[in-house]
Amino acid sequence: MNSVFIKDICEPTLLIDETKCKNNIDKIFTKVKSMGIEFRPHFKTHQSKAVGKWFWEKGVRKITVSSLKMAKYFMQSDWRDILIAFPLNIRELDEILIIAKHIDLKLTISDVYSLEFLNRILTFPVDVYLEIDVGYKRSGFDINNTDLILKVLKIIQKSKFLNFLGLLAHNGLNYFAKSPEEVIENNKSFLAKLFDLKNLLISMGYNPILSIGDTPSVSICEDFAGVDELRPGNFVFYDLMQTAIGSCTVDDIAICLAVPIVAMYPERNEVVCFGGAVHLSKESLKFEDSEIYGLVVDIFDVTWSGPIEDSYVKMITQEHSVIKTTKEFFRTHKVGDLIGILPVHSCLTADVMKKYLNPNSAWLDHL
């Protein structure tokens, strides 16, 4: 039977399965450590002090975040070695520098102008990573533009206060991979290019570390020789996107949106739930021949079932989700029941929901 917590849910509620989550943390922590690589997990997926504590208990002390706001939030619970893996935002520089005076804050340099701006203002040493774009074309210095990279390094070298730590890159293309094999191939060519750059810098007297990290490669690949630091984030919860890539199984997904069934339409094998784009986010995924917004599970005491056969979220609007399902579902469910939706992209679902219900204990915070 449902626990008191589950039974009392009236509106869309994000459940967290503590066991699955801790297993995910444990598996990746052990894998990274056993390779002798520094582990600096990205906390942007969970954005939760409570979940952060589960990392702390394993001995993790270095973390990655993607905004100043997140850095400030995790500082409040004793994290002292924080990398903001996002291009330095000079509009926030005053506040960044106040924090950098008090904790070991590491910054990401992705643009010359902002580097020079930072350099002019600094009055004490600050650690910086150089962000390298290996083809994802989001942010970072183009890996093929060695002239610019060397020019940037010169600025850092001449600076009294800038301390160059190493190269930071994100293999965003892995999120478009269709199979583990594709991730392995992507990762190989991604690393080969970065090793060439790292070796060039070493030959010039620099001593850069190489920091990378995306959930698909860290979950799937075995060969990270030459990498110094790994920063995956999504693995803490995983999601359907990661299942589709092959980073995890659907059983590894550690969060699930509990939603009340509000209307049932057996004539079209569809069910409407209270829980829409403002609860799940609007991320979708090609699944078999359909564009889907989630898979459907039954909710148990402190966890949930595997996906209910032939059932998926086919449409979401602001507050509605429409679930395509089977005749069998109508025999076993009724209006007013709670069911669960496994999210397509857990980072965004967690961000819109802003808190987690852990049926083992209570609410867990989110930034």
Written as one string, the DSSP assignment of 59-79 is T--EEEESSHHHHHHHHTTT-
Helix runs in the chain, H state only: 4-7, 18-34, 49-56, 68-75, 93-102, 112-121, 146-158, 180-203, 215-220, 240-245, 277-280, 327-332, 346-353
Among 4, 10, 59, 332, binds a second copy (CB under 8 A): 10
Which range binds a second copy by CB under 8 A, 16-24, 88-96, 211-219, 240-248? 88-96
Q: How far is the CB of 183 from a second copy (least distance, A)?
A: 18
Among 33, 127, 262, 355, binds a second copy (CB under 8 A): 262
Contact between 11 and a second copy (CB under 8 A)? Answer: yes
Q: How far is the CB of 262 from a second copy (least distance, A)?
A: 4
Could you tell me how far CA 79 lies from the centroid of its own chain?
18
Measure the CA–CA gap between 34 and 170, rounded to whole angstroms.
22
Contact between 92 and a second copy (CB under 8 A)? Answer: yes
The smaller minimum CB distance to a second copy, of residues 113 and 124, is found at 113
Q: Checking phi first, is residue 157 left (phi over 0); if not, alpha (psi -120 to 50) or beta? A: alpha
Contact between 365 and a second copy (CB under 8 A)? Answer: no
Which range binds a second copy by CB under 8 A, 51-59, 80-88, 119-127, 224-232? 80-88
| Three-point CA angle 30, 36, 40, nearest 5° | 70
Q: Within 97-136, which residues bind a second copy (CB under 8 A)?
A: 110-111, 113-114, 117
Structural tokens at position 78: 């004793």
Q: Which of 334, 281, 289, 332 lies closest to 312, judged by CA?
A: 289
Contact between 290 and a second copy (CB under 8 A)? Answer: no
Contact between 139 and a second copy (CB under 8 A)? Answer: yes
At residue 193, the 3 state secondary structure works out as: helix
Task: Fill in the DSSP letter of residue 336.
Answer: T
Contact between residue 118 and residue 107 where contact means Cβ atoms under 8 Å apart:
yes
Q: How far is the CB of 60 from a second copy (least distance, A)?
A: 21
Which range binds a second copy by CB under 8 A, 155-163, 194-202, 245-253, 273-281? 273-281
CA-to-CA dists, residue 306 to 114, 251, 298, 323, 345, angstroms: 48, 7, 8, 16, 18
CA-to-CA dists, residue 204 to 130, 207, 208, angstroms: 16, 9, 11
Contact between 172 and a second copy (CB under 8 A)? Answer: yes
Q: How far is the CB of 336 from a second copy (least distance, A)?
A: 5
At residue 100, the 3 state secondary structure works out as: helix
Q: How far is the CB of 141 from a second copy (least distance, A)?
A: 9
Which range binds a second copy by CB under 8 A, 157-165, 190-198, 222-230, 261-269? 261-269
Among 81, 180, 260, 358, binds a second copy (CB under 8 A): 260
Measure the CA–CA gap between 327 and 330, rounded to whole angstroms.
5
Contact between 247 and a second copy (CB under 8 A)? Answer: no
Which range binds a second copy by CB under 8 A, 26-34, 75-83, 240-248, 274-282? 274-282
Contact between 87 and a second copy (CB under 8 A)? Answer: yes
Contact between residue 70 and residue 92 where contact means Cβ atoms under 8 Å apart:
no
Contact between 315 and a second copy (CB under 8 A)? Answer: yes
Contact between 24 and a second copy (CB under 8 A)? Answer: no
**Which residues, including other chains, have CB under 8 Å from residue 194's CB and lie 6 or more apart?**
132, 134, 143, 167, 169, 210, 212
Among 152, 197, 201, 272, binds a second copy (CB under 8 A): 272
The smaller minimum CB distance to a second copy, of residues 158 and 334, is found at 334
The residues that touch a second copy, with contacts defined as CB under 8 A, are 9-11, 44, 66-69, 86-92, 95, 110-111, 113-114, 117, 137-139, 142, 145, 172, 260, 262-265, 267-268, 270, 272, 274, 277-278, 281-283, 315, 317-320, 322, 334-336, 338, 345, 347-348, 351-352
